[in-house]
Structure 1
Amino acid sequence: MATMTQAQRGAVLITGAAGGIGMAAVRRLDELGFRVFAGVRKSSDGERLQREISARITPVLFDITDDASIAQAAEIVTRAVGEVGLVGLVNNAGMIVEGPLELIPTDEIRKQFEVNVIGHIAVTQAFLPLLRKAKGHIVNISAPTGQVAMPYLGALSGSKAALEFVTDALRSELRPFGISVSIIEPGAMQTDIFKKSAASAQQFRQRLPGELLQLYAPALAAVAKALANQRLESPGVVVAAIVHSLTSRSPKTRYLAGRGTGMIAVLRLLPDHVRDGLLLRAFGLANTRRVS
């Protein structure tokens, strides 16, 4: 019965399958009868998915920033699905580089764009032949920062803004082939991504001159407090959007997932100075003293 249902639903590849959103999506799509290929970077993560969710899941070990690794993953999936192709590709892998742009090492900024933008493009290129066979659907996971730049999340905002425009272009370019494209903008989720970004930021800040770091100390403390006090939601709201985009006959081009994401559209319409003021207050930076 499971094999028959999988054949009816089709095959889906999810990158970043070991993370909070990715793992929740793998679980739900497997429950719905999709044949799930779970992109992971470590074999232990693939084993965990099979152990904790289902033995039906097929882990695919690859790094979305490595072209040879992506090509090998595409060969594996192609051999498995054959002429049936893929009904879905969920570009979920991502990372956050946080901090003032002046202090972030350029190699960290390059990594931010490699993972959040170039990696998604490279994976999409590699799997488009399979998506074309099934007239499948591409889902890119973005963030509200792709619509409105957030202070001290400038690198993240830039990468997600780039992903937004890449998605818009793909939607038009792939329409003649019957491939639809959606983007999902989740709010703050109950995952470990901000903990990981904070730990990474702490590591590279230790290499900075103390006097330079001191200039930003009050603002960094305020931003850390604001991020720690975020209202986090279950990844389930993002998974619901993924499922709708993969199963609906008329998937949305853009999904807002989570409380407060609708306010982003309003912020975009405001004059720059008004928007800046609201964001500074939201991050606890409105009363930060000017440095003389």
Structure 2
Amino acid sequence: MTDLTAPALARSLLVTGASTGIGEAAARHMAARGWTVFAGVRSEKDASALRQGAAGDLRPIILDVTKPEQVEGAVATISTALGNRRLSGLLNNAGIAKMGPLAIQPLEDFEAHFTVNVFGMLRVTQAFVPLLGGDPAREGAPGRIVTITSVGGKIAAPFLGAYTATKHANEAMTDTLRRELAIYGIDAIAIGPGSVRTPIWDKAEKDNEGGLYAGSDWAASLNIFEETMLKGGKTGLPPQTIAEVVEDALSNSSPKARYAPVPDKLTNFTIASRLPKRWLDKVFIKRFGLQKKD
């Protein structure tokens, strides 16, 4: 576990998407555990809120992963703070989710998922590889890259095609990075949570309030699905649980390549991920009323 007596900046972490949910919980938790945490937020208002009640060395920075100039600015800020030391960890957490049937979802909504969840993740990762261990002039142990994926990174649910596509991509990218960055000693780890009590699905529901799909053939099924996701957002794992998994991924001397903190894991992940696809199709079709209309 983390050595709380280590000097400041001996363990340092950048968290993207730290304004709410998993990112906020992880940033606060790791700072309280003695890490210097650079917490990426998109506004001064979010930065001020994050500072409230924070324990330890928590440093909000303005960072929108879709804006190259802000990523470059974050690199400069953190590089200066580190001096000649390496960054101990990068937590790729920033992400968005918008519900909708792929057959009619606007392409700009689909593209937005990749802009944030995939290209944003890679933009930040590429920018920080030198600080994590790619720059031989820096001192200290190589850092680790931890990426928050999802159960959706392994199981594609209806109405989340865009989101799960990006999470499948994040899973693949994490495996590739782990194998390629071995030359620097940089590890790459995925954490694929199930339902978590975060605002992400409330935001997704708000996006749909305009009735984009209200008159579609999927309207009734989408309503059932929305209710399921919103319930998961209220009854799922607390973000603090995921924050503790993040700590293990960053601190354990022999971390897993992938963690799966999922409520009722046997039924919600283990069995579902092993069922033949046609069987799982039937489960989703029955659950969300997607049977062929007469």
TM-score (norm 2): 0.90
Are positions 1:62 and 2:63 aligned together? yes
* Counterparts of residues 125-140 of structure 1 (less than 5 Å): 125-132=126-133, 133=138, 134-140=141-147
Aligned to 1:256: 260
Q: Secondary structure at the match of 1:52?
A: coil
Deviations along 1:30-63, one digit per CA (max 9) or x if unpaired, are: 1111011010111111122222214732111021
RMSD between superposed Cα atoms in Å: 2.1
Cα shift readout 1:1-21 (whole Å, capped 9, x = no counterpart): xx9744374111000111111
Cα offset, 1:227, TM superposition: 2.1
Once the two structures are TM-superposed, the CA of residue 229 in structure 1 deviates from its matched residue by 3.2
Q: Which amino acid aligns with 2:251?
A: T
Matched residue type, 1:147: K
Tell me the distance in 1 between the aligned counterparts of 2:49 and 2:261.
Answer: 27
Q: What is residue 107 of structure 1 aligned with on the other side? A: 108
Q: Does 1:279 align with 2:280?
A: no
**Cα displacement (A) at 1:217:** 1.7
Report the CA distance shift for 1:31/1:248 in structure 2 as closer, same or farther (over 3 A).
same
C-alpha contact 1:6 1:34 (8 A) present in aligned 2? no
Greater helix proportion = 1
Cα distance in 2 for residues equivalent to 1:222 and 1:288: 11
| Amino acid of the structure 1 residue aligned with 2:221 | A
Partner of 2:198: 191
**What is the CA distance between 1:142 and its match in structure 2?**
0.3
Match of 2:17 in 1: 16
* Kept in 2: contact 1:6–1:35 (CA 8 A): no
**C-alpha separation in 2, matches of 1:55 and 1:91:** 21
**What one-letter code is carried by the residue in structure 1 that aligns with 2:143?**
G
Which runs of structure 2 are paired with 1:48-127 in the superposition (5 Å)?
48-54=49-55, 56-127=57-128
C-alpha distance in 2, partners of 1:229/1:73? 36
- Alpha-carbon distance between aligned partners in 2 of 1:40 and 1:6, rounded to the nearest angstrom: 26
CA distance in 2, matches of 1:84, 1:30: 18
The corresponding residue for 1:222 is 224
Question: 2:243 maps to what in 1?
Answer: 239
| 1:151–1:6 CA distance, 2 compared to 1 (3 A) | farther
The one-letter code of the counterpart of 1:69 is: Q
Give the stretch that moved more between structures: 137-146 or 39-48.
39-48
> Is the CA contact 2:9–2:82 (under 8 Å) kept in the aligned structure 1?
no
Partner of 1:202: 209
Does the CA contact (< 8 Å) of 2:36 and 2:56 recur in 1? no
Partner of 1:290: 292
Would the aligned equivalents of 1:112 and 1:156 in 2 still touch at CA under 8 Å?
yes
SS at match of 2:188: strand
Contact 1:137 1:179 in 2 (8 A): yes
The size of the alignment, in residue pairs, is: 283
Say whether the 8 Å CA contact 1:187–1:260 is kept in structure 2: no
Q: SS where residue 83 of structure 2 aligns?
A: helix
Deviation of 1:109 after TM superposition, in Å, equals 0.8
How many Å separate the matches in 2 of 1:182 and 1:94? Answer: 17
Alignment gaps of 5+ in structure 2: none
